[in-house]
């Protein structure tokens, strides 16, 4: 009994740093943000906080820019999640075939994941500039006559950012799927081939159902990451042109640190949290039903 009490105390002491970190950097900020969503505050003096009830929530859902940023974020999450999972799964299958050179290919594909999204954003901005590498290449091949304004076009800006994001994080999803594939017994696949199953049936009738938990994890990570995307959007377009690539996080930043409207920004933060939670719960429930 004495030993058990000592073990409990030791376990608590070892857990204490994680508990303190969780409280200081997650729980308390979330609670304070929720409180701020019912206030009007410029962000400087705590004595200037004024309680205004649900006024911020009403104003947020009347704000056309917020609604546009919500739509842009939804498009970003849907397209990025689809392409990341499709490309991640395909590249993982290619690597699992153990074709000569795939180890090098795996390392090259994963390398962008290790680079900061800010660096990726700057790199892509330079490449897609009117006088950048991409436009110069297209012009040299006589595919275009005048430069394409990838980041200056209201129709292309958001999709260009999605392309840059998919390029960077495909390697991340690839590693997740590759780890899942390595856990599948090869005897099962060999037995399916002996029974006459072609590669198409093996992928969609065996691999995909077995990898459903892996797919759930990859999708959840993509969805949560997509709803809080900020850095690459801020670097490449800052939400422009005319808010056509504005996402929730960049609009939150503007409201909080450019317009000093902390209450309004807090509501946007709460919306991001709620949407991420709802999307995660729906995906988990859908996964449980398919099992």
Per-residue pLDDT at 287 = 65
| Helix, strand and coil percent figures for the chain, each rounded to 5 | 75, 0, 25
Partners of 40 in the β-ladder? 50
Q: CATH number of the domain at 33-43+50-113+162-290, out of 1.10.3720.10, 3.40.640.10, 3.50.30.50, 2.60.120.370?
A: 1.10.3720.10
In tens digits, the chain (291 residues) has pLDDT values of 455 777 777 777 888 888 888 888 888 888 999 999 999 999 888 888 999 999 999 999 999 999 999 999 999 999 999 999 999 999 999 888 877 778 888 888 999 999 999 999 999 999 999 889 999 999 999 988 899 999 999 999 999 999 999 999 999 999 999 999 998 888 888 888 888 888 888 888 889 889 988 998 899 899 989 999 999 999 999 999 999 999 999 999 999 999 999 999 999 999 999 988 888 788 777 666 655
Contact 174, 106 (CB under 8 A): yes
8 A C-beta contact, residue 94 and residue 102: yes
SS3 at position 87: helix
CA angle (18 as vertex; 16, 24 as ends), nearest 5 = 100
Distance CA 77, CA 71 (A): 10
As given in the structure block, the two tokens for residue 39 are 């206030």
Q: What is the pLDDT of residue 2?
A: 52
What's the pTM? 0.89
């Amino acid at each position: 009994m004495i030993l058990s009490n000592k073990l409990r105390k030791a376990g608590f002491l070892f857990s204490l740093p994680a508990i303190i970190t969780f409280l200081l950097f997650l729980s308390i900020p979330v609670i304070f943000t929720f409180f701020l969503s019912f206030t009007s505050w410029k962000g400087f003096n705590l004595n200037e906080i004024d309680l205004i009830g649900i006024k911020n929530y009403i104003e947020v859902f009347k704000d056309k820019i917020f609604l546009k940023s919500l739509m842009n974020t939804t498009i970003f999450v849907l397209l990025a999640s689809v392409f990341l999972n499709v490309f991640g799964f395909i590249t993982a299958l290619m690597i699992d075939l153990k074709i000569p050179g795939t180890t090098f290919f795996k390392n090259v594909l994963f390398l962008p994941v290790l680079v900061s999204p800010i660096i990726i954003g700057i790199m892509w901005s330079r490449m897609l500039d009117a006088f950048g590498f991409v436009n110069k290449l297209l012009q040299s091949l006589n595919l275009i006559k005048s430069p394409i304004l990838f980041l200056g076009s209201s129709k292309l800006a958001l999709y260009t950012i999605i392309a840059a994001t998919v390029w960077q994080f495909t390697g991340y999803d690839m590693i997740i799927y590759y780890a899942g594939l390595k856990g599948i017994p090869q005897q099962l696949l060999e037995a399916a081939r002996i029974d006459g199953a072609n590669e198409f049936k093996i992928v969609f009738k065996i691999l995909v159902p077995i990898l459903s938990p892996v797919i759930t994890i990859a999708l959840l990570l993509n969805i949560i990451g997509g709803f809080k995307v900020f850095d690459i959007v801020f670097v490449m377009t800052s939400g422009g042109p005319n808010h056509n690539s504005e996402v929730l996080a960049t609009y939150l930043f503007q409201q909080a640190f450019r317009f000093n409207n902390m209450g309004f920004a807090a509501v946007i933060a709460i919306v991001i949290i709620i949407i991420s939670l709802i999307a995660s719960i729906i995906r988990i429930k859908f996964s449980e039903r398919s099992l």
